[in-house]
């Protein structure tokens, strides 16, 4: 084996939200209520913190409906986070899905490391069949810990048996990337499938032709 081949990552790790599936709750709510009201609701209520609780394993409906009950002025809108969740978690990002499948066609192990609730991930799997194509999945709601807590990265390392320096990880959030880098992972701050494709080519995992959708 050449030195170059020896340096190839042994597994590629994908975040899901805003890497494989768009996740823009503010955009959804701007479509169902006046934008000024949406901005006020998000300023008054930390809905992303509510979602973090779901990603840690709290009951999806209970968490959303309890928040709605605590803020009756916005109750109907908040309940949409549960009742129309699939309209928030959309659409898929085709270029990234292509790269996932291109890596798997070459026999490169591909893992998911994602902040996702138990029930919401079940919904997403039905809507997006490619979520069943990973070799291994590490879902925060099942593990009861979310990125960027170092524990979730350690769980992946221990379960997969892949050394930190042999993992290549992409995520749209810089705090999640920083936590992985601190453990010695190779990282790519995702800002679109084109840049991710170029990184996979530079790492020697895909050819330019294979990386093209």
pLDDT tens across 13-66, in order? Answer: 999 999 999 999 999 999 999 999 999 999 999 999 999 999 999 999 999 999
pLDDT the model gives residue 6:
52
Are 105 and 138 in a shared domain? yes
Last residue of a domain, one of 88, 106, 136: 88
Q: What's the domain range around 116?
A: 11-22+92-211
pLDDT the model gives residue 213:
87
Could you write out the DSSP letters of every residue in 92-148? B-HHHHHHHHHHHHTT--EEEEE---HHHHHHHHHH-GGGG--SEEEEHHHHT--TT
pLDDT the model gives residue 98:
98
Within-domain flag for 196: yes
Tokens of 133: 């194509």
> What does the buried/exposed string (b/e) look like for 174-188 if buried means 16 or more CB atoms within 10 Å of the residue's CB?
eebbebbeebebbbb
Are 39 and 111 in a shared domain? no
User: Residues 92, 93, 94, 99: is their CA dihedral positive or negative?
Assistant: negative
Within-domain flag for 3: no
Residues of the chain with pLDDT under 70: 1-6
- Residue matched to tokens 């809507």: 127
CATH of the domain at 195: 3.40.50.1000
Q: What is the DSSP letter of 188?
A: E
Tokens of 109: 């192990």
Q: How many domains does the chain contain in total?
A: 2
Nearest to 15 by CA among 144, 191, 207, 213: 191
pTM attached to this predicted model: 0.95
Last residue of a domain, one of 88, 105, 134: 88
Within-domain flag for 1: no
């Amino acid at each position: 084996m050449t030195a170059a081949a020896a340096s190839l990552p042994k597994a590629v790790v994908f975040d899901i939200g805003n890497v494989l599936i768009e996740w823009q709750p503010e955009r959804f709510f701007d479509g169902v209520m006046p934008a000024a009201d949406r901005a006020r609701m998000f300023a008054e209520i930390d809905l992303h913190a509510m979602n973090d609780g779901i990603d840690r394993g709290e009951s999806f409906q209970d968490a959303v409906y309890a928040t709605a009950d605590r803020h009756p002025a916005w109750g109907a809108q908040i309940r949409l986070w549960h009742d129309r969740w699939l309209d928030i978690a959309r659409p898929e990002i085709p270029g990234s899905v292509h790269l996932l499948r291109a890596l798997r066609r070459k026999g490169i192990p591909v893992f998911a490391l994602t902040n996702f609730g138990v029930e919401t991930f079940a919904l997403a799997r039905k809507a997006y069949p490619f979520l069943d194509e990973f070799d291994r999945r590490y879902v925060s709601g099942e593990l009861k810990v979310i990125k960027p807590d170092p524990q979730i990265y350690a769980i992946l390392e221990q379960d997969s048996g892949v050394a930190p320096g042999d993992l290549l990880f992409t995520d749209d959030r810089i705090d999640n990337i920083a936590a992985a880098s601190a453990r010695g992972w190779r990282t790519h701050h995702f800002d679109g499938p084109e840049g991710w494709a170029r990184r996979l080519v530079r790492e020697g995992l895909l050819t330019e032709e294979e990386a093209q959708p």
